[in-house]
Amino acid sequence: MSTLAALLPAVPAVGWAVHARWLHSRLTTARRDPLTGLWTRDAFTRRARRLLRNPRAVVVLADVDHFKQINDRHGHAAGDALLATIAARLAHGTTPHGVVGRLGGDEFAAVVIDRDHTMPDRLHTLARVLARPADTAPDVHTTVSLGWVRAADHPGEDLSALLRRADEAMYAAKRSGRASPRRARLGRLLGSVAGRRPGRRGAA
């Protein structure tokens, strides 16, 4: 048998392997936000639900303060640079044992496993880090409001309910104006504040 004939059966296999790698790369890219590199909402949701099986899981919601003013004052390119910087810092601050995604606009979410019960201190440190100027634009900076909730405090609640609790806490943190992370209250939800967001987006 010639060398060429011996190689022919392997050609389709090599072709499929290359195609599979290309397809995997395209799918991974589609699940990543193009600006920040974080997981998109759907990809984040799938990973977050798996992490919530751990009793030490904590859900965090982050929203950039005064973002509209940043865009108006410095331009959208500066606003994009700020979002990318905040995303990188969030990713660093929630790993290992966590996942972070961009839910849309200037809002981010994370699920972290609090293995050593230091989440309050970690989030206070993270809030200070997030408020630092962007490395590429020293004049562009703002605070980031953080709300968080321990999944164990609300047994049986799914990711959507825990995000609503974290959102409620984040909104309270934003209204306080102290750029201090706020833990979700115990008891029943006051109701989703999502309907109030359009009026406060970038204005708080």
CA nearest to 140, candidates 194, 100, 83, 200 = 83
According to the model, what pLDDT value does residue 187 have?
76
According to the model, what pLDDT value does residue 127 have?
94
Sheet order of strands, 107-113 included: 98-104, 107-113, 57-64, 144-150, 182-183
Q: What are phi and psi of 203, to 5 degrees?
A: -105, -15
DSSP string computed for 174-201: HHHTS---EEPPSSS-----GGGHHHHT
The pLDDT tens digits of the residues spanning 176-186 come to 877 789 999 88
The H-assigned helical ranges of the chain are 3-7, 10-30, 41-51, 67-74, 76-93, 119-130, 159-176, 197-200
Report d(CA 95, CA 87) in Å as an integer.
Answer: 12
Residues facing 39 on adjacent strands: 32, 101
According to the model, what pLDDT value does residue 102 have?
97
What stretches in the chain show pLDDT beneath 50? 16, 18-20, 22-29, 192-204
Q: ω before 34 within 30° of 0 (cis)?
A: no
According to the model, what pLDDT value does residue 194 have?
41
According to the model, what pLDDT value does residue 105 have?
92
According to the model, what pLDDT value does residue 42 have?
95
| Token representation of residue 163 | 């995000």
Catalytic residue among 33, 106, 114, 167: 106
According to the model, what pLDDT value does residue 33 have?
95
According to the model, what pLDDT value does residue 30 have?
58
Establish whether 106 is a catalytic residue.
Answer: yes
